[in-house]
Every structure is written in C-alpha cells, then in structure tokens.
Structure 1
C-alpha cells in the first residue's frame, strides 16, 4: 500500500474530545427535560451530523424538542471547549508528513464553524490541503466528503486512506472505495471498528504514525 493522501476524522481521532461530546449530549438532554442516553449510546453517535446524532441518541421527539436540544448541546459543548487538546504526537506527525509532501485532509461531522475554531485553536489550519464538514456534505457514512476531497486534490481513491475512530468513518471509506484505518482510543469500541474490516486498528496515535510513515509516497 502506497499512499498519497491521508484523510482524518477530527473528534476522537486527532483531538481528545470524545468525553466532552458525550457529556455535552447528556447535559443537553438534562437541560431540555429529555431522556439522558447512556455513555455508550451518546458515544456511538459521535461523527454523525448533529441533527442525526441527537435524533439517534434521543429518538421519538418532536421537531421543536430537537431544535431546543441542538441549541442546548451547542451551549454545553462551548462550555469547556477550550480545554480540549490534541492527542499526543498529532501535531508533530502532521508537520512531518506535510514536510515530505503527503497530502492531508479532514472529513468531519463537525460544523464548519466548529472545525474552523478547532483548527485555529490548535494552529493546524495550514497543514491541511482540504477539509469537509457536514455543512457542505452529506453526513457519514455517505461517501460525499471523501469523493469531493479526492476529486479536488486529484488523488485516486486507491492511494487514499481514511483514519477514524468510529464505524461511520470506516463505512464512509468503504463506500468511497478508499483504504481505512481505525483508532480504538476514541468513540467506538474495537469490535465495532473491526466489523468494518479496516486495514488495521491502532490503540494510540504513535502506533498509527509508525504504521503509516513507511507507506507514504
């Protein structure tokens, strides 16, 4: 496998935000008087577009209730967002891969405003050649994000890998015809990731780095 383009999910893959997202979903449900999902349920919807994620985590509500829930989630997430950090080794690896000419991209279930805030806060904006969010594309696992990124950058799907911490990421890769790698330190457990048959699954970012580096063009 020789790769020209690495596409990353953001939350739970590059940034250690899974626990904060789960708490924000639960607190939003509490604030709006809706049933509070268990951690496993709230964690499973991470990576989906927000309306779909909340409807899955808290099904059977009215449109008005979901609008209130979305507003409550955004308020909860913004409280403490500045404390979320990148996983160890992420910034150094991205800079090293960029310096050798590897193309880097992000495909995320975050909003455009949310991703732009995260990129600015981490100082990583200049490292990515393309980014896609649910504001521009269909929610994962639809392949639109990956299809647009590979098309815009002129890279064949066979020389592209999607890296993510959820089955939504890995199924998107399968739907787009790219390679897929899972990371088990984010939202979904290993068995859920393994069922999507990625090329490999890694327990930390340093192991992902060691596997990817010799396979980059």
Structure 2
C-alpha cells in the first residue's frame, strides 16, 4: 500500500479571488479608526497573514492594542460585505476540476489559511465545498504564516510525512511555511505575490493554471528539496 499524500491549499488568492473584498474591508476599518485610506497595493501584500499580524505590517507605528482594534473593525466590515446581495468571491478557473482530479487519484486534501474559521466556513458554503478537505487549518487555531505550525498539524492529522505533503499557495508566506515544515512548496502565478518572490521563498515550481495538477503534484513528490 502506498504512503498517503496530501495537497494543502491556501484560500485567498489561490482558490478564490477575494482581493476586492479584503481591500474594501480594510479601507472601511481604517475609516472607522480615522486612519485615512490604505494603499490597495499595501493591503494586497499582507493577504495571507493572520489578521492582527497583517495590521501590524500595515501600521508598524501603532500599538498592539490598535492593531487588535483595527482587526476587529475589519472583521465587522467583512461580515457586512458578505451580507450584500451582489457579494462574490469567485473560484479561480479550474479549481473544482483540480479538486476532483486529485481526489480521484487518491490524494488527501487540506486547507491552510490566514482566514478565520468563520471565514473558511463562509467560503465553503458559498462554493459548496463542504466535505472536500480532510484537514482545515486557520488563523484561529494556529500561529500565522509563515510559521510552519499549520502544516505540521495538517500532516499529523492526516498521518502524512512532510515529504509527501505539497503546499499550494500564491504568497511568499506560503512557500516559507512549506520550507520550514519540510514540505514541498508549489506556487501559483495568479495571486498576490510575484513569481520571483515565490521562487525566492522556496517554491519548487510556479504554475500558471490548475490544468494537470495531479501530474504536477506526482512529479513534485519525487523531486529533491530546494535550497
């Protein structure tokens, strides 16, 4: 019997296109706190981090208490956005087909995300993805990326060796987390960090679409470790 293999996906920027909602919620949070208007490009840079840490990067001069308050204001703004009738966070092309193909090929599937558990549940509800993922690691339950804790816990829950685990993500934080966990980092080019950053952070490969993901994943399991 072959050893179990696990593919863990980031969410924002990898599976779903949520940048517009994240920027809008952070802008509303800053307005609530009378902080002005954040640069959308700066907000894009911190997508993937846990929320309080993301606020600390955006507002390095502020106190931890202010970072926490901005994070709470962001959560409230995001909840409001989800209630709007025209709110959308679409799946990127090929996601469902890739999940089906991996499942049919015997791969275990997981999530590791800076989203809250509530945010993940909303995403699963929106796209009818419940039951797809054997392990779901969120910022509510673990230290944030690039700390390897999410992947260490995912591997333990699934009984998978790190060398048989692939982290699929769009940011350097995902690739750094994979490298620290001794897993394989697979970058995607359509997300929030540049291809060069992904490679510099340890991505063994960066793909431009989810076509043939099962074949790519199988090849990577046998690939030597980077760096």
Taking structure 2 as the reference length, what is the TM-score of the superposition?
Answer: 0.86
Partner of 2:207: 202
Q: Structure 2 vs 1, CA of residues 17 and 37 (structure 1 numbering), >3 Å: closer, same or farther?
A: same
Match of 1:117 among 113, 122, 126: 122
Partner of 1:136: 141
2:184 pairs with 1:169: no
The 4+ residue runs of structure 1 with deviation greater than 4 A are: 207-210, 213-217
CA contact (8 A) 1:87 1:205 kept: no
Q: How big is each residue's C-alpha offset from its partner over 1:119-150, in whole Å with a ceiling of 9 and x where there is no partner?
A: 12211121111111011111111111100111
Partner of 1:65: 66
Q: CA deviation at 1:79?
A: 3.7
CA contact (8 A) 1:55 1:66 kept: yes
CA distance in 2, matches of 1:12, 1:3: 27
Partner of 2:225: none
Taking structure 1 as the reference length, what is the TM-score of the superposition?
Answer: 0.90
Match of 1:184 among 189, 206, 209: 189
Q: CA deviation at 1:20?
A: 2.2
CA distance in 1, matches of 2:184, 2:212: 17
Q: CA deviation at 1:194?
A: 1.9
CA contact (8 A) 2:56 2:64 kept: no
Q: CA deviation at 1:36?
A: 2.9
CA contact (8 A) 1:162 1:173 kept: yes
Partner of 2:23: 22
Q: Secondary structure at the match of 2:211?
A: helix
Higher relative contact order (CA 8 A, sep 6+): 1
Gaps of 5+ in 2: 223-227
CA contact (8 A) 1:9 1:165 kept: yes
Partner of 1:86: 91
CA distance in 2, matches of 1:216, 1:158: 7
Q: How big is each residue's C-alpha offset from its partner over 1:34-62, in whole Å with a ceiling of 9 and x where there is no partner?
A: 14332222111111110010111122223
Partner of 2:57: 56
Worse-matched range after superposition: 188-197 or 4-13: 188-197
CA RMSD, 1 decimal: 2.3
CA distance in 2, matches of 1:63, 1:48: 16
CA contact (8 A) 1:179 1:198 kept: yes
Greater share of helix: 1
Q: CA deviation at 1:23?
A: 2.8
Q: What is the number of residues matched between the two proteins?
A: 216
Partner of 2:217: 212
Q: CA deviation at 1:99?
A: 2.5
